[in-house]
Amino acid sequence: MNFQVNGRAAFAYTATHAVDPAKRSVVFVHGAGLDHSWWGLQSRYFGYHGFNVLALDLPAHGRSEGPALTGIGEMADWVRKVLDEGKIKSAALIGHSMGSLVSLEFAARYPEAAQKIALIGTAYPMKVGEAFLDAARRNDQAAYDMETIWGHAAQVPLAGNPNPGMWMYGDTLARLARLAPGVLHADLCACNGYAGGFEAAAKVRCPALFVLGRRDVMTPPKAAADLAKAISGSQTVQIGPSGHSLMAEAPDATLDALIAFLA
């Protein structure tokens, strides 16, 4: 679906279905440097099982026009405008990594619009190492390599992708190669600079789910524990063999957790 937000072209994948006001809506928010297609299997499932699906491309990602937004709060406000454009009053938000912080902040700022939030591969604070930030600032290939290697469990390069024939490292690197200069750095700065996690958590009134990869070296489960405690009644699902890219590394387990949560 193509629409305009703040006068700029924006895109959301809808699984080839038009938005139906009678259906519940699910909004997917991707992580740093990625795009809507990162949710391929999960977004398609919900789109074909009675939900409106909006898998977003944040500004300067995928098919949405830049420039990149520079803060998590700004991104949450942008998501709200997307819902307004789609005439969607409220939705479940599913966010990965940077997108999980956006979903959290959205639920705090717009409690009436957040039915549920699922935070996948999350941590708070989501600190980013100086070497990673510096490489991204220089648009150096090393930054894309770091995101790719740390973004997957150690066993991933040995093969065994649940999606037949695809190489996860190559897929991530190819996506990152399409980014305009500065976009990854802007995203990483947004994650690194986000300081409102606990305040936002205290304001969350909707059900919250944490989906965490036990082999995640970027946002290990222990780094999400305090945030999970800060959201009243939140549930946590840990997925055994997965690293940070849960939707690709453990697509079925991730989907099953979401199906149970959104039921």
Partner 1 sequence: MPIYQTTSYVFRDAAHAASLFNMERAGHVYSRISNPTVAVLEERMAALEGGVGAIATASGQAALHLAVATLLDAGSHIVASGALYGGSHNLLGYTLKRFGIETTFVDPRNLNAWKKAINQNTRLLFGETLGNPGLDVLDIPAVSKIAHDAGLPLLVDATFTTPWLMKPFELGADLLYHSATKFLGGHGIAIGGVLVDSGRFDWEKSGKFPQLTAPYAGFHNMDFEEESGTRAFLLRARREGLRDFGACMAPMTAFQILQGIETLHLRMPRHVENTRKVVVFLKGHSAVQAVMYPELDTHPDYKLAKQLLPRGCGAVFSFDLKGGREAGRRFIEALRVFSHLANVGDAKSLVIHPATTTHYRMPDEDLKKAGIGPGTVRLSIGLEDADDLIADLDRALKAAK
User: Interface residues with partner 1 (CB under 8 A)?
Assistant: 13, 16, 35, 37, 40-41, 44-45, 48, 62-63, 157, 159-167, 169-171, 173-175, 177-178, 251-252, 255
Q: Which is nearer to partner 1, 41 or 223 (CB)?
A: 41
SS3 186: helix
187, 32 Cβ separation under 8 angstroms: yes
Phi-psi region of 50 (alpha: psi -120 to 50; beta: other; left: phi over 0): left
Q: Which is nearer to partner 1, 63 or 81 (CB)?
A: 63
How near is the Cβ of 39 to partner 1 at its closest, in Å? 11
Label the pairing between strands 235-239 and 208-213: parallel
How near is the Cβ of 134 to partner 1 at its closest, in Å? 25
Distance CA 126, CA 98 (A): 8
Put the strands of the sheet holding 208-213 in their side by side order: 2-5, 8-13, 51-57, 24-29, 91-96, 114-120, 208-213, 235-239
How near is the Cβ of 62 to partner 1 at its closest, in Å? 7
Element at 256 (helix H, strand E)? helix 251-262
How near is the Cβ of 166 to partner 1 at its closest, in Å? 4
- CA 92 to chain centroid: 13
The token duo for 148 is: 């790719």
15, 53 Cβ separation under 8 angstroms: yes
**The residue to which tokens 């205290």 are assigned:** 202
How near is the Cβ of 178 to partner 1 at its closest, in Å? 7
12, 36 Cβ separation under 8 angstroms: yes
How near is the Cβ of 240 to partner 1 at its closest, in Å? 16
Rounded to a whole number of angstroms, the distance between the first and last alpha carbons of the chain is: 25
How near is the Cβ of 50 to partner 1 at its closest, in Å? 13
Q: Which is nearer to partner 1, 23 or 137 (CB)?
A: 23
Q: How many CB atoms lie within 10 A of CB 174?
A: 11
How near is the Cβ of 88 to partner 1 at its closest, in Å? 20
The amino acid sitting at 177 is A
